[in-house]
Amino acid sequence: MTHTIQPNNPEATPAPEATDAPAAAATGLPGAGLAAASPWRPVPAALKRRLPKYSDLAPLMQFKKPEFGKEARLRRASTIWELREIAKRRTPQAPFDYTDGAAEAEITLRRAREAFLDIEFRPGILRNVSSIDLSTDILGKPSRLPVGIAPTGFTRMMQSEGEYAGSQAAEAAGIPYTLSTMGTASIEDVAEAAPNGRNWFQLYLWTDRDRSLELIERAAKAGNDTLMVTVDTAVAGARLRDVRNGMTIPPALTLKTVLDASYRPAWWFNFLTHEPLTFASLSRYTGTVADLINSMFDPTLTFEDLDWLRETWKGKLVVKGIQTVDDARKVVDHGADGVVLSNHGGRQLDRAPIPFHLLPEVKEAFTADNSDAAIILDTGIMSGADIIAALALGADFTLIGRAYLYGLMAGGRAGVDRALQILEKDMARTMALLGVSRISELNPDHVRILGK
């Protein structure tokens, strides 16, 4: 039997007549205002003023001991954007801008990042999210997180630990690491630095096919299980920050760079006291980045070249730089095991399609084709929430480039570790708040693109 309590309790002490209130207020005593409203109640002890006691103040006066050094600096970073700010303070302008910048007016990069902001998450409630599992499978093998490290060129120029820091951090995190053809560590050295990691190799097909074949053979021999061929670099994009900075490989010691170095002595000390920059594909090169790309990469590439690559490489083959649904379908028809929806981080064609916007269309097309080809997405990712949104809209996996490079510039290997920790924490929190405990539970209902 349910007992209902009425709002008006007949056993309560009756309130004084309303005429008593003005008299109480007129006394001028402390708490007269309260008495005017409720004259029959005493002032609560907590609202009576008193001098504070030392025992009350002591718990509020515990001063934290100042912390200095790289570890403390990295711990204070709670987002990738904060790592970027640290990186900017510690890295000369030319290397930082090489990482941070994009082509022409940088419209593509800006739109790619805005695409992740222009969404609405749609959480489910009353789900058991006491345990969050971020593991997934990609290209036939497990990954502890649904993100890998993308190929980045000239990485030791950003910070002297370069590819060694990236590959070892990926190994420790249980995720794939992709070495670029333009990497500043060799295929063999990366394999030795991270022998238990899952190492992939990114290939630019050169005009010299024998040189490409040599790299393919070296990648296979070193244990790389996936080859990622990049197809959006027929010519170099107009990266205007690099032009303005007079960016060369290696960085030139001009008057401007010497002045810049005075504010970043640690970077220059590391740069000058380690082995000079070398490349996985070249013994030495001196010149601008654009000249290097234009002299090496083949503007005559066709799908027939992809057929040759499929016949040559026996592992998993992924094509990076896909920006239309038709091209996604075509490369799968020509033997690709997966596609990377990417506009090269906005570094090639400005106003290019945004991978995050393209993602649902490619997913729909692959579903219609009954294709099991992997859909990987990069460009614009700056948080774990971005990664979760991409997975919900159909991506099987994601790659980060700038996000990990900001960590590298902020603190070497420890900085890359910190970047991955930030993303992992972001992803786990976002999943829990969405009411999802496993990657496989994510679906398009969890994300709405605003304005659609």
Catalytic positions are 344
Using CB atoms within 10 Å of the CB of residue 328, give its burial: 0 to 12 exposed, 13 to 18 middle, 19+ buried: buried
- Between β-strands 119-121 and 447-449, what pairing exists: parallel, antiparallel or unpaired? antiparallel
| CA terminus-to-terminus distance, the chain | 52
Helix or strand holding residue 317 (H, E): strand 316-322
* Coil, strand or helix at 137: strand
CA distance 376 to 390: 9
**Which residues make Cβ contacts (< 8 Å) with residue 147, sequence separation at least 6?**
175, 381, 387, 397, 398, 399, 400, 423
Contact 309, 229 (CB under 8 A): yes
What residues are paired with 248 via a beta bridge? 288
* Rounded Cα gap, residues 149 and 406, in angstroms: 13
Residue carrying structure tokens 């790659």: 399
3-state secondary structure of 77: coil
Among residues 74, 76, 275, 78, which one has the least CA distance to residue 161? 275
Give CA angle at 420 (341, 143), nearest 5°: 65
H or E stretch covering 338: strand 338-341
Assign 288 to helix, strand or coil: strand
Kindly state the tokens that stand for 347.
């570094």
* Rounded Cα gap, residues 351 and 343, in angstroms: 10
